[in-house]
Structure 1
């Protein structure tokens, strides 16, 4: 995929949106030092180019009672074809699985999972993941504390800088 051609104003706009996606059009324009109409045109162009995938709200998992975060490595018995696709479909349907990545190394997948408590997490592993056809092994690591959590992406530097 081709690297996007972003100028300084585009990068300021994307950074401002990552910091506060709820900012009004006027506030965004002030932050990025553009007129509101210029800012809106750039925003629309960035959306149409697919650089802005969507807007959302970040919820506080602890206040929602989701105190356990675990990183789960899953290895399948066989790779490719229907077993893997069935596994992918199951992961997509599990709201407790926040992220699922196919990875290199000893395991086939790395999942980020949340649960209200250790019993609920145990049920996810024992009754749901290990019960899936084709799953060979599941290894998990519990998070002892969150050091950094962000969805903000690093923006490319301006080649002119």
Structure 2
């Protein structure tokens, strides 16, 4: 639940910015039906509230040579605070790890890893297994993406 209620204009602003983060305030204001000053004020409020957390360029992994996408499930031998912290700190330093989630179920963590080759993945795997407390690592390789979204449904 957002810390502030979103009205229809806020939702429209968020949808427009998620579709095109480089849209000018003038263009945005025209799309949402506001004059530029109130539109910019609303965007700044959404940023200040932490609803908009930043702006990025989306890069095609294949176009930059990152053709191997792996989903890695990690089980720790102990799930106490110490071992969770050790793992989370270590994995945050891996540039190849695009996402990492603390999970319920059979694995403690699920990671999405992007690398250029299987030998590079082997290197990531070796570094992962050296982290204190890692008991088991299981990997599935993605063949191709079916659904990939960056826009949050608001």
- Please indicate, yes or no, whether the TM-score normalized by the shorter chain is above 0.5: yes
- Give the shorter-chain TM-score range: over 0.9
List alignment gaps of at least 5 residues for structure 2: none
Alpha-carbon offset, residue 148 of structure 1: 1.5
Structure 2 partner of 1:151 = 150
Give the Cα separation in 2 of the matches to 1:67 and 1:56.
Answer: 21
Task: Indicate conservation of the 8 Å contact 2:3/2:49, yes or no.
Answer: no
Alignment CA distance shift 1:23-1:2 (3 Å): closer
Correspondences of 1:66-145 after superposition (within 5 Å): 66-125=66-125, 127-145=126-144
Give the Cα separation in 1 of the matches to 2:123 and 2:93.
Answer: 16
SS at match of 1:141: strand
List alignment gaps of at least 5 residues for structure 1: 156-161
What RMSD, in angstroms, separates the aligned Cα atoms of the two structures?
A: 1.2
Alpha-carbon offset, residue 80 of structure 1: 1.6
Structure 2 partner of 1:41 = 41
Alpha-carbon offset, residue 2 of structure 1: 4.9
Alignment CA distance shift 1:26-1:2 (3 Å): closer
Map Cα deviations across residues 88-129 of structure 1 (whole Å, 9 max, x no partner): 00111111001100101111000000100111112211x201
Alpha-carbon offset, residue 19 of structure 1: 0.2
Give the Cα separation in 2 of the matches to 1:147 and 1:117.
Answer: 21
Give the Cα separation in 1 of the matches to 2:45 and 2:123.
Answer: 46
Give the Cα separation in 2 of the matches to 1:21 and 1:34.
Answer: 18
Alpha-carbon offset, residue 4 of structure 1: 3.5
Map Cα deviations across residues 25-79 of structure 1 (whole Å, 9 max, x no partner): 1011111111111100111111111110111111111111000111100000111
Give the Cα separation in 1 of the matches to 2:107 and 2:40.
Answer: 45
